[in-house]
Amino acid sequence: MQGSSAHHETPGERTDAPGIVYRVSCENPGCNHIFDLRITAKDAGLLGGTLACPHCRRHGGILKPTGRLERKIFTARLTFKLTGSSSGAPGEEGDLLTDIS
């Protein structure tokens, strides 16, 4: 059994094929790679999950649509969660020192 995956295209490939194309730019600092991602009805579920950039190979990216270029061509950003940062500011609820005393 084969798993289906989206087809990565180079910008400028034909656009008369079935499905839609997302022109995606990677938001990973230092990468900024732009690639076309063709989505058909068979692999539409990929839009709800996470993707890896084909250039820098960072996984866990989420597609954020940013607009429309042409018929069947949309733009999107591949964004990633920040790593190594806390979710709240110091002194907010849940501070361990104030909970102990």
Full pLDDT tens readout for the chain, 101 residues: 333 345 555 555 554 678 999 999 999 999 999 999 999 999 888 888 899 999 999 999 999 999 999 889 999 999 998 876 555 555 445 555 555 55
pLDDT at 43: 87
Asked, for residue 62, whether it belongs to a domain, the answer is: yes
Asked, for residue 92, whether it belongs to a domain, the answer is: no
pLDDT at 1: 36
Residues spanned by the domain of 77: 7-83
Asked, for residue 49, whether it belongs to a domain, the answer is: yes
List the end-to-end C-alpha distance of the chain, in Å, as a whole number: 59
Asked, for residue 89, whether it belongs to a domain, the answer is: no
**Apex 26 CA angle, 8 and 14, nearest 5:** 30
Number of structural domains in the chain: 1
Distance CA 41, CA 45 (A): 8
